[in-house]
Structure 1
Amino acid sequence: MDTPLYEQLYMHIVHEIHEGKLKSGDRVSSEKELAEQFGVSRITSKKALEKLAEAGVIKRIQGKGSFVADVHPSNLEFMRQLEERPAPLIHAQDRPLIGLIIPGFSDEYGLKLLQAMEKRSAQHQCDLLIKRTGGSKEEEEHAIQLFVNLGIKGLIVTPVHGTHYNAELIRLVLGKFPVVLVDRYLKGIPVCSVYTDNRKAAQDLTLHLIDKGHQNIAYLSPPVENTSALEDRLLGYQLAFTLEGLKLNQDYCLTNITGTRTGSWAEDSAILKNFLEQNIDVKAFVASEYSVATMLAQVVDALGKKADTYDIVCFDSLNDYLGKPIFTHIQQDEERMGEEAVDLLISQLYGEAVPEQRIIEHNMIIKEQ
């Protein structure tokens, strides 16, 4: 891995002291001045000054700035050892490449996440490369290989849905390559992941319907196997019944909705039409995804039923033309998820330890009646 930019700044200041250009008590350039001088971010210059202070090379005085510390023999030896290492020049064009691999993005989910990542990457003086996989494991493997061959320094991934982990991704993780997962995690695999507490979120949605008087509540989802977000949402739905002391009818759990993966809704529409006709007591639904909720609403309309006949809740809903939510839904904090993912990846590039889990708070948006 190339020398991090903050370490290059660090070495530059050590060199200035060693050459006598900066002496004990002299003021060192501020974070802002260093950032402008070398074309790096304030985050980078701040980290360089913090590391110098930790090493005892400079003293940072709040409200006044940073100053060269008294040169004790221990510091002289420390700086002599550092001077034995080459101090590469810093150039604005030395911006590391990082990659983002994501199944796709849309207005209801993913667009804000992407925008936040692009903005945060620029703040870190990194360039973000993006590859959409369309939910294909083969495309995901190809994207990983492509990005590694292009020389990326770190990778952010939203893994595709599926029953098997991607071997290329596992190889990177086990090889200690900087990786952050977004929106889901891999069970049993030690990799930094940023995601919503999907279990709690689905539980909140289900409890909302129970509080409205519903007891016969169905759950709609694509196949959940080995997709942590979907597994946790199903579990949250089930736990809500346990908390309320209600009996859960497993026949109300439909986890075979495949239209979001295949793009064909004909079979799903038939399944839902049959379910509605066979289970007339079910008047409430928890949909694991917005597209599933909209498909259900279309089936309800096709059956000639009024829209308010059923209570439908979901994740990541859009608003109508008046700016009001179409469904009561869980609103994930995409902006913070994106920022955290980039920050945690950059920390890995600096060689810092990062947590395996970073859970981002969610909100429940209630549709007005």
Structure 2
Amino acid sequence: MDGPLYEQIYNYLYEKIKSGELPTGSRVPSEKELATQFGVSRITSKKALEILASDHLIERVQGKGSFVAEHMPDRKEKESENKSSQQQWKVIGLILPDFADSYGLRLIQGVEERSSELGGRMMMKLTYDKREEEEAAIRSFHQIGVDGLIIFPVHGEHYSPEFLRLVLDKYPLVFVDRYLKGLAACSVYTDNRSASYDITKYLIDRGHTKIGFISLPAENTSTIEDRILGYTEALIMHGQQLNPQHLMTNLFSSVPRSFEERNVQVDFENVKTFVELNPDLTAFVVAEYNLALILREVLLSLGKKIPEECSIVCFDSPRSPFHKYLFTHVRQDEFEMGRQAVELLQKQWDSQEVPFHNTVPYSIIKGDSTL
């Protein structure tokens, strides 16, 4: 059988009802029984039963179970009605840690615009980079009955077991911003390895031979891991010495809700110590915009002139008139990322094969932080 697993269960039970194998008034297998029979989660079997109930094919009695309805609608008429409704009202659940004008806002706009163009609707939940919030969001969207999920995973060493359940259930799903190693799931993201290579080479081409790297902990997060790889490859390919002491990957104030005075001050002191211990560094590749802000303040506090004495490049930098200082940066096409994520969901709804790895373009934007 083709199509989503909940649909397969729906069709299986419908045929049993239609053939009389499940006559009027008879008990329908429970969520648990169907989950065991089909090897799926109870979320999936529950959705199949809920759709059967909404189509008036079964009646669900709390505490007793589900039973074949006495009066059933015409199947062809119901299918036509459902098809028309689904085409107009596909609902997408968007789950992401947080958003800002530096990164995330345009991603949301891309998802919303393409959803609307395809006749769908978008619902959004923020997780604030907490795994328990992410898992709760997935469960709540399942209960609501969204047709597909677009997820920006939380930062961390291990991914949620909910992700594996979604993949095993063949639930329409797209990850954005990163891919998850070992998980056969559709993702759309920037080629961070290539982008980091190019932005590091940008500094090398301008004569820098001592270049540092500053980021969050990698923690098995493909985005950060690939940016570190791109940085190291650029140095090696251009005959630069790779010094592990020039890498700082223990900051955290760009994590959602952590860019607060106390946390920023901790990272400020750590970055200041890093810069003071590496006085030979004349340029820095920074993985996140907020961390680039901290580095800039550190360098200025030490009397360093930017960009005359030290250069900074980073990923993403707001292009609003309210942000007068623009870092030289990798500009990710997050708007296209959002649009492409919706299109990949549409292909899954249409039972088309989708590639697991999909990348969007990026560009290097010259700013005030480099010569």
In which range does the TM-score fall when normalised by the shorter chain? 0.7 to 0.9
- Choose the corresponding residue for 2:161, options 163, 167, 171: 167
Q: CA deviation at 1:94?
A: 5.2
Show the counterpart of 1:132: 126
The superposition leaves residues 128-186 of structure 1 with CA deviations (integer Å, 9 ceiling, x where unpaired) of 11001111111000000000010011100010000111111221112110100000001
- Choose the corresponding residue for 2:245, options 245, 251, 261: 251
Q: Secondary structure at the match of 2:155?
A: coil
For structure 1, which runs of at least 5 residues remain unmatched after alignment? 4-82
The superposition leaves residues 178-204 of structure 1 with CA deviations (integer Å, 9 ceiling, x where unpaired) of 100000001111111000000000001
Show the counterpart of 1:316: 316
Show the counterpart of 1:153: 147
For structure 2, which runs of at least 5 residues remain unmatched after alignment? 8-73
User: Is the contact between residue 115 and residue 342 of structure 2 (CA under 8 Å) also seen in structure 1?
Assistant: yes
Q: Are the structure 2 counterparts of residues 136 and 195 from structure 1 closer, same or farther at C-alpha, using a change threshold of 3 Å?
A: same
Q: CA deviation at 1:109?
A: 0.8
Show the counterpart of 1:58: none
- Choose the corresponding residue for 2:220, options 200, 210, 226: 226
Q: Secondary structure at the match of 2:109?
A: helix
Task: State the identity %.
Answer: 43
Q: 1:26-37 maps to which residues of 2 (within 5 A)?
A: none
Aligned-partner Cα distance in 2 for 1:325–1:164: 36
Aligned-partner Cα distance in 2 for 1:346–1:143: 21
Q: CA deviation at 1:278?
A: 2.1
* Matched letter for residue 282 of structure 1: L
Aligned-partner Cα distance in 2 for 1:143–1:338: 19
1:95 aligns with 2:89: yes
Aligned-partner Cα distance in 1 for 2:303–2:207: 24
Misfit runs of 4+, over 3 Å: 83-87, 91-94, 319-325
Q: CA deviation at 1:306?
A: 2.6
Aligned-partner Cα distance in 2 for 1:290–1:146: 32
* Matched letter for residue 225 of structure 2: E
Residues paired across the two proteins, number: 290
User: Is the contact between residue 319 and residue 325 of structure 1 (CA under 8 Å) also seen in structure 2?
Assistant: no
Q: Secondary structure at the match of 1:98?
A: strand
Q: Are the structure 2 counterparts of residues 275 and 121 from structure 1 closer, same or farther at C-alpha, using a change threshold of 3 Å?
A: same
Aligned-partner Cα distance in 1 for 2:167–2:143: 16
Q: Secondary structure at the match of 1:155?
A: strand
User: Is the contact between residue 304 and residue 310 of structure 2 (CA under 8 Å) also seen in structure 1?
Assistant: no
User: Is the contact between residue 101 and residue 143 of structure 1 (CA under 8 Å) also seen in structure 2?
Assistant: yes
User: Is the contact between residue 347 and residue 354 of structure 2 (CA under 8 Å) also seen in structure 1?
Assistant: yes
Show the counterpart of 1:348: 348
Most deviating of 299-308 and 186-195: 299-308
Aligned-partner Cα distance in 1 for 2:247–2:86: 54
Show the counterpart of 2:359: 359
Q: 1:69-84 maps to which residues of 2 (within 5 A)?
A: none
Q: CA deviation at 1:336?
A: 1.1
Q: Secondary structure at the match of 2:220?
A: coil
User: Is the contact between residue 223 and residue 256 of structure 1 (CA under 8 Å) also seen in structure 2?
Assistant: yes
What is the root-mean-square deviation of aligned Cα atoms in Å?
2.1
- Choose the corresponding residue for 2:114, options 105, 115, 120: 120
The superposition leaves residues 250-302 of structure 1 with CA deviations (integer Å, 9 ceiling, x where unpaired) of 10010001122333122211111112222211110000011110110111222
Show the counterpart of 2:280: 281
